[in-house]
Amino acid sequence: MAAETLPGDLLAARQKRAALLFMLPAMILLVAVYAAPLGYALKASFTGWLLTRPATANIFVGLDNYTELLSSPEMWSAIRVTLIYAVAAVSLGLVFGTLLALMLDADFYARSFFRSIMIIPMVITPSVIGIFWKLLYEEDSGVFNAVLQAVGLWKVAWLNLDMALPAIIIMDVWQTTPFFMLIMLAGLQAIDRNTVEAARVDGATSLQLFRYVMLPHLVPYMLIATSFRTIAAMGDFDKIWLLTSGGPGNRTTTVTIFAYKNGFSAFDIGRTTAIAWILVAIVLTASAPLLVRLFRSAVEER
Amino acid sequence: MQSSRRRRILVTLLWIAVAFVYLFPYTWMVMTAFRLPIDTLSMRFVFTPTLDGFREILVNANFLRYVGNSILTAVPTTLLVVAIAAPAAYALAHLDRRNRTFLGAVLIVRMVPGIAIVVPLYLVASGLGLLDQRPTLIFVYSAFNLPFAIWLLRGFLREVPVELREAAIIDGCSELQVFTKVVLPLVTGGLVATGVFVFIAAWNEFLFALALTQSRAATAPLAITGFRNEYGTQWGAIGAAALMISTPVVIFAVAMQRYLVRGLTMGAVKG
């Protein structure tokens, strides 16, 4: 503590002023691209603004957009789809990622090669994934059905009413499993090897080893990975938009897709900004534990 | 000894199987790039490779122009983000370490989904006549990646001992000199890693590009959607374009593996 504050209030004040100058460009950019548009959106969400009728921009409707949305089945369907998508994709990603991390933690040949190629899906451009998975899912010409038929199973209409939501979840699990794998692997490698050895010498089975030695240690890593991924999943747009465009009907219309459609197809600015603000509220609530954790560790560190 | 070797071979074989199945969609994409449409549709694994797909996207001058747009958007974004984030991160790491307002603002902004700002940004850009222009996209991408970059760089800069700055100040350096001459050279690894992550994010971005650009400033992730249209699907072209767009980011990510976990978790997990 003492070391960082050089003698004299003058120096401390000068240091603060320098800090402000260093932060200024970042503050200006964040205000221009985030704070101002968010404020603008908040104001617009209280109006009945339709882009096709400019005169409507100043019609103040109070909370009407919000009350209308919160009683509309479409909005609740979008919230439901978003939650199912996020929860299912994140849990499956966590399970597969943990299994792969355990497998990577073993001793085998060309380990770093396998580790490297396994992260490919995670970084491929999401719009490429959306476009390409649509081709893979094609009912008659897609390779997934070809494989299913080759092993004696039946064709699946992947993008129909019942399968579309599972289909976008499968696509997301495919893409994000390496994310979980890498974080869980980092967790596994931080375990004290002596503890594991000691447990093994004491006769613990592999399952017991995982349950009582590794799992407790991995929980914080799981929380971090799931928090980050849940927040991101709730904002996912590109893959879903290109695979299903929210359809069929509104079966895969997440809140993000719902907001986009209202904004750029219906040009209903009042409504789309209200949806966006509802989503911000949901995401910030969901990310509160992670935010608090990151904030605390930043403020409290030595 | 013998049995442990057998175990290693078995695990390796298991990994070959797992990687084959898991990466199958990617392998299929790569193969599509080198196949005639007829071979793709008949699901042939053995085929005579062709470069027709690549020829198609190279002859199609528009696609190359969009790839050019992607480069001319992602590279300036990367430089701008690092240039703006580094001083801010330094301020938070050394000069004003408990600036709760800015720390909190950076974190909250990081969590705000893009869709929340895309509509107002569209309205403002269209009002100012800034739609379909690369600088607009660069400006928006820079802000979008800034919170992440500040937080990550702050972690790298925290590893520089505070005594170093104090010694340099006593020696008569200004804060700016300390930052550029003493501190920055010590965190080049962190700067490069942050820059690469920003580049990947900007290169892959879709939503803002979709909303804020049309034909002039559109980027490659948008352009690839053009090969699937009412006239059918140009398989070879999609495969070639997909490979061309995704290969740079795959290479960058693999090269940056050491920092990947740290980047993905904003420094919460060191990896």
CATH assignment of the domain containing B252:
1.10.3720.10
The residue whose two tokens read 């509104």 is A250
Q: Does any domain span residue B231?
A: yes
- Considering the domain architecture, whether residues B129 and B223 belong to the same structural domain is answered as yes
For the ranges A177-186, B33-42, B240-249, the lowest mean pLDDT is seen at B33-42
* Chain B environment of A41 (Cβ under 8 Å): 116-117, 119-120
- Considering the domain architecture, whether residues B65 and B146 belong to the same structural domain is answered as yes
pLDDT of residue A35: 93
Q: Is the pLDDT assigned to residue B51 strictly greater than 80? A: yes
Q: Is the pLDDT assigned to residue A267 strictly greater than 80? A: yes
Q: Does any domain span residue B269?
A: no
Top-confidence residue, A180 or A213: A180
CA–CA dist A79, B26 (Å, integer): 31
Closest CA to B147 of A30, A19, A33, A295: A30
- Considering the domain architecture, whether residues B123 and B152 belong to the same structural domain is answered as yes
pLDDT of residue A1: 43
- ipTM for the assembly: 0.91
Element (H, E) at B228: strand B228-229
For the ranges A5-19, B94-108, B129-143, the lowest mean pLDDT is seen at A5-19
Closest CA to B97 of A12, A9, A10: A12
**Residue A2: band (very low, low, confident or very high) from pLDDT cuts 50, 70, 90:** very low
- Considering the domain architecture, whether residues B98 and B168 belong to the same structural domain is answered as yes
Is A59 within 8 Å of A48 (Cβ atoms)? yes
* Helices of type H across B23-114: 24-33, 37-41, 52-59, 61-90, 100-111
CA B160 → CA B93, B156, B175, distances in Å? 9, 8, 15
Q: Is the pLDDT assigned to residue A39 strictly greater than 70? A: yes
CA–CA dist B186, B201 (Å, integer): 25
CA–CA dist A215, A218 (Å, integer): 5
User: Are A124 and B112 inside 8 Å of each other by CB?
Assistant: no
Average pLDDT over residues A111-140: 92
Q: Does any domain span residue B108?
A: yes
Q: Does any domain span residue B46?
A: no
For the ranges A166-170, A189-193, B106-110, the lowest mean pLDDT is seen at A189-193
B82: which 2 tokens?
């690092």
User: Are B97 and A4 inside 8 Å of each other by CB?
Assistant: yes
- Considering the domain architecture, whether residues B156 and B218 belong to the same structural domain is answered as yes
Instruction: Give chain B's domain count.
Output: 2
- Considering the domain architecture, whether residues B21 and B71 belong to the same structural domain is answered as no
pLDDT of residue A260: 94
Q: Is the pLDDT assigned to residue A172 strictly greater than 70? A: yes
CA–CA dist A280, B112 (Å, integer): 6
User: Are B102 and A23 inside 8 Å of each other by CB?
Assistant: yes
pTM for the model: 0.92
- Considering the domain architecture, whether residues B139 and B98 belong to the same structural domain is answered as yes
**Residue A78: band (very low, low, confident or very high) from pLDDT cuts 50, 70, 90:** very high
* Chain A environment of B124 (Cβ under 8 Å): 37, 40
| Average pLDDT taken over every residue of chain B | 90
Q: Is the pLDDT assigned to residue B170 strictly greater than 80? A: yes
- Considering the domain architecture, whether residues B95 and B216 belong to the same structural domain is answered as yes
> Which of A16, A24, A30, A278 is the best substitution to test chain B (most B C-beta atoms within 10 A)?
A30
For B117, which of A18, A37, A128 is closest by C-beta distance?
A37
pLDDT of residue B228: 76
Is A291 within 8 Å of B111 (Cβ atoms)? yes
Q: Does any domain span residue B236?
A: yes
For the ranges A37-46, A177-186, A243-252, B227-236, the lowest mean pLDDT is seen at B227-236
Q: Does any domain span residue B172?
A: yes
For A125, which of B8, B124, B246 is closest by C-beta distance?
B246
Contacts of B24 (CB under 8 A, 6+ apart): none
* Chain A environment of B22 (Cβ under 8 Å): 118, 121, 174, 177
- Considering the domain architecture, whether residues B81 and B155 belong to the same structural domain is answered as yes
pLDDT of residue B271: 66
CA–CA dist A256, A127 (Å, integer): 16
- Looking at residue A268, the DSSP 8-state letter turns out to be B
Q: Is the pLDDT assigned to residue A197 strictly greater than 50? A: yes
Q: Is the pLDDT assigned to residue A12 strictly greater than 90? A: no
Handedness of CA A251, A255, A260, A263 (dihedral sign): positive
Q: Containing domain of residue B157, as a range?
A: 52-264
A5: nearest CA partner in chain B: B166
The CATH number for A87-253, chosen from 3.40.50.720, 3.40.800.10, 1.10.3720.10, 3.30.450.20, is 1.10.3720.10
> Which of B148, B228, B269, B270 is the best substitution to test chain A (most A C-beta atoms within 10 A)?
B269
Provide the strand spans (E) within A8-98.
none
The alpha-carbon radius of gyration of chain A (Å, integer) is 25
A81: which 2 tokens?
């789809």
CA–CA dist A19, A143 (Å, integer): 57
Q: Is the pLDDT assigned to residue B1 strictly greater than 60? A: no
For the ranges A112-126, A196-210, B138-152, the lowest mean pLDDT is seen at A196-210
Q: Is the pLDDT assigned to residue A273 strictly greater than 90? A: yes
Kindly report the nearest CA distance between residue A82 and chain B, in angstroms: 13
- Considering the domain architecture, whether residues B111 and B26 belong to the same structural domain is answered as no
Query: Cα(first)–Cα(last) distance of chain A, in Å?
Result: 8
pLDDT of residue B2: 67
Q: Is the pLDDT assigned to residue A87 strictly greater than 90? A: yes
Angle (CA) B152-B156-B161 rounded to 5° is: 150
User: Are B119 and A123 inside 8 Å of each other by CB?
Assistant: no
Handedness of CA A142, B226, A247, A237 (dihedral sign): positive
User: Are A30 and B147 inside 8 Å of each other by CB?
Assistant: yes
**Residue A3: band (very low, low, confident or very high) from pLDDT cuts 50, 70, 90:** very low
- Considering the domain architecture, whether residues B108 and B182 belong to the same structural domain is answered as yes
Kindly report the nearest CA distance between residue A186 and chain B, in angstroms: 5
* Chain B environment of A8 (Cβ under 8 Å): none
The residue whose two tokens read 């240690």 is A217
CA–CA dist A181, B107 (Å, integer): 25
Q: Is the pLDDT assigned to residue A96 strictly greater than 90? A: yes
- Considering the domain architecture, whether residues B8 and B104 belong to the same structural domain is answered as no
- What is the interface size between A and B, counted as CB pairs within 8 Å? 286
Ramachandran category for residue B19: left, alpha or beta (phi over 0 → left; psi -120 to 50 → alpha): alpha
pLDDT of residue B246: 93
A50: which 2 tokens?
């339709």
Q: Does any domain span residue B45?
A: no
Is B220 within 8 Å of B69 (Cβ atoms)? yes
